[in-house]
């Protein structure tokens, strides 16, 4: 069975030394007479995996870095035969310089440059990979979905509306400048804080869906009421008068969220993210993606907030995407991209909002010659395709470098 991270992307892989493979082959073949065909079969499987992983290595990288819990290296592959476009030698540290605790990234033992975060077998379950490039440290954390006790605490102390069905409240991606203290992070709870008080979008089953959420809230309140009655003679009427009402809120969970900033001052700019630099064939040093929250809107569509980050020797790009599909009503995409140039310390943030009627986008599929007749709505579930085929309503660009005119 292949490593679970091998399916993440074709541009990222762990390395395997070809010389050790040949030694393993000769040892296994010499032992085959004593151990029978089983040793040969095991060796054949090892060679197939080795050939597969070597074929996916970035050009120019031949040998993995020696195994160790931490390594600080100068990117010798920058500007060498690896065809990396960066013009400076990036200082790479795995894990990050300010990383606390054990680095739980299983790929760190194989290569100090190529990192593919994936869940590790630990208890409690937690995955906290990190990396430092020059002055910038990148941290991600993945943990399980919030349990009932955590949800109850949030409902009582932070939010006064029904929460999404699945909240990964402990998932975080954070970028910190170790020199200036500038930091930006993305997490689910801060995103939910940015919701508007109401939503004008309705669907045919909107009222039934609200009633189901209201009944769940009432059931929880009834249990609390019963417990109070058993332990007190207080009159609970004041606590239960409003159980049949529900405060208006944005039931689509569309956040107005561009990240949580610390010691970071941003200025409006017309400068765009340099796509040309991102398309250069640089090796990917770090990659991670996670879901922050998700809700199926009572089987009326989907509402999902997710993050994805990739780090190269010269720059990084982080995407925080909110995707909303309300069946037969509307599509909504809100993308926040953060670009950082490690050489100049330039940070660019682009926030883009898109909306389009459901029926109009569906017509684009049905009138297309390449439409999938067996599943015509397949593309409507593809967030990238939807984003590329609906218009942009608003774009806001910001930078951490103060304009001369300000």
State whether 222 and 163 are in the same domain. no
Report pLDDT for 25: 45
State whether 34 and 141 are in the same domain. no
State whether 221 and 362 are in the same domain. no
Report pLDDT for 103: 64
State whether 348 and 331 are in the same domain. yes
Domain boundary (57, 80, 96) is at: 57
Residue 319 CA, chain-centre distance (Å), reads: 8
Give the pair of three-digit tokens for residue 159. Answer: 């939010």
State whether 186 and 329 are in the same domain. yes
Please check whether residue 110 lies inside any domain of the structure: no
Domain boundary (218, 240, 262) is at: 240
State whether 236 and 253 are in the same domain. no
pLDDT in tens, the chain (406 residues): 444 433 433 333 333 344 444 454 445 444 444 444 455 555 666 666 565 555 444 444 443 433 334 444 444 444 443 445 545 667 888 778 887 776 655 444 444 444 555 444 444 555 678 899 999 999 998 888 999 999 999 999 999 999 999 999 999 999 999 999 999 999 999 999 999 888 777 665 555 555 655 555 544 445 445 544 444 443 433 333 333 446 788 889 999 999 999 999 999 999 999 999 999 888 888 888 999 999 998 888 999 999 999 999 999 999 999 999 999 889 999 999 999 999 999 999 999 999 999 999 999 888 776 666 678 788 899 999 999 999 999 999 999 998 876 5
State whether 379 and 280 are in the same domain. yes
- Number of Cβ within 10 Å of residue 189's Cβ equals 18
Report pLDDT for 198: 80
Domain boundary (35, 57, 79) is at: 57
Note if the pTM is more than 0.85.
no
State whether 40 and 168 are in the same domain. no
State whether 273 and 159 are in the same domain. yes
Domain count, the chain: 3
d(CA 10, CA 287): 12
Report pLDDT for 57: 45
Give the pair of three-digit tokens for residue 139. Answer: 């941290």
The residue segments making up the domain with residue 229 are: 206-240
Give the pair of three-digit tokens for residue 128. Answer: 């906290």
State whether 393 and 327 are in the same domain. yes
State whether 286 and 328 are in the same domain. yes
Please check whether residue 75 lies inside any domain of the structure: no
Note whether 63 and 82 are within 8 A (CB): no
Phi, psi for 194 (deg, rounded to 5): -90, 5
Please check whether residue 297 lies inside any domain of the structure: yes
Please check whether residue 348 lies inside any domain of the structure: yes
Report pLDDT for 143: 87
Please check whether residue 277 lies inside any domain of the structure: yes
Please check whether residue 349 lies inside any domain of the structure: yes
Please check whether residue 117 lies inside any domain of the structure: no
Among the listed residues 191, 331, 198, 170, the one whose alpha carbon sits nearest the alpha carbon of residue 255 = 191
Report pLDDT for 245: 47
State whether 216 and 173 are in the same domain. no
């Amino acid at each position: 069975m292949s490593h679970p991270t091998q399916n993440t992307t074709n541009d990222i892989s762990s390395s395997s030394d070809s010389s050790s493979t040949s030694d393993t082959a000769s040892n296994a073949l010499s032992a085959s007479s004593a151990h029978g065909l089983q040793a040969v079969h095991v060796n054949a499987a090892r060679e197939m995996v080795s050939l597969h992983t070597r074929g996916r290595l970035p050009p120019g990288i031949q040998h993995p870095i020696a195994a160790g819990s931490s390594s600080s290296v100068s990117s010798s592959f920058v500007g060498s035969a690896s065809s990396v476009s960066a013009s400076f030698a990036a200082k790479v540290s795995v894990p990050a310089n300010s990383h606390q605790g054990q680095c739980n990234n299983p790929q760190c033992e194989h290569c100090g440059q190529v990192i593919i975060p994936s869940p590790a077998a630990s208890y409690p379950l937690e995955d906290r990979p990190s990396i430092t490039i020059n002055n910038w440290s990148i941290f991600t954390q993945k943990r399980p979905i919030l349990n009932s006790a955590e949800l109850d605490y949030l409902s009582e102390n932070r939010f006064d509306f029904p929460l999404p069905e699945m909240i990964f409240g402990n998932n975080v991606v954070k970028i910190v400048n170790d020199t200036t203290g500038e930091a930006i992070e993305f997490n689910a709870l801060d995103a939910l804080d940015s919701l508007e008080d109401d939503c004008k979008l309705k669907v045919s089953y909107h009222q039934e869906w609200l009633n189901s959420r209201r009944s769940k809230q009432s059931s929880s309140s009834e249990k609390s009421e019963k417990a109070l009655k058993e332990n007190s003679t207080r009159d609970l009427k004041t606590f239960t008068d409003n159980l049949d009402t529900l405060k208006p809120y944005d039931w689509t969970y569309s956040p107005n969220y561009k990240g949580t900033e610390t010691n970071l001052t941003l200025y409006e700019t017309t400068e765009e993210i340099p796509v040309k630099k991102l398309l250069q064939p640089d090796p990917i040093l770090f990659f991670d993606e996670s879901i922050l929250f998700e809700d199926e809107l009572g089987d009326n569509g989907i509402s999902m907030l997710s993050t994805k980050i990739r780090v190269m020797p010269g720059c990084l790009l982080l995407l925080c995407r909110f995707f909303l599909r309300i069946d037969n009503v509307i599509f909504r995409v809100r993308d926040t991209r953060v670009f950082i140039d490690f050489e100049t310390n330039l940070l660019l943030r682009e926030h883009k909002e898109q909306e389009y009627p459901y029926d109009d986008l569906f017509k684009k599929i049905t009138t297309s010659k390449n439409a999938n007749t067996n599943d015509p709505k397949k593309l409507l579930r593809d967030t990238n395709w939807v984003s590329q085929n609906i218009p942009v309503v608003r774009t806001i660009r910001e930078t951490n470098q103060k304009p001369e005119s300000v």
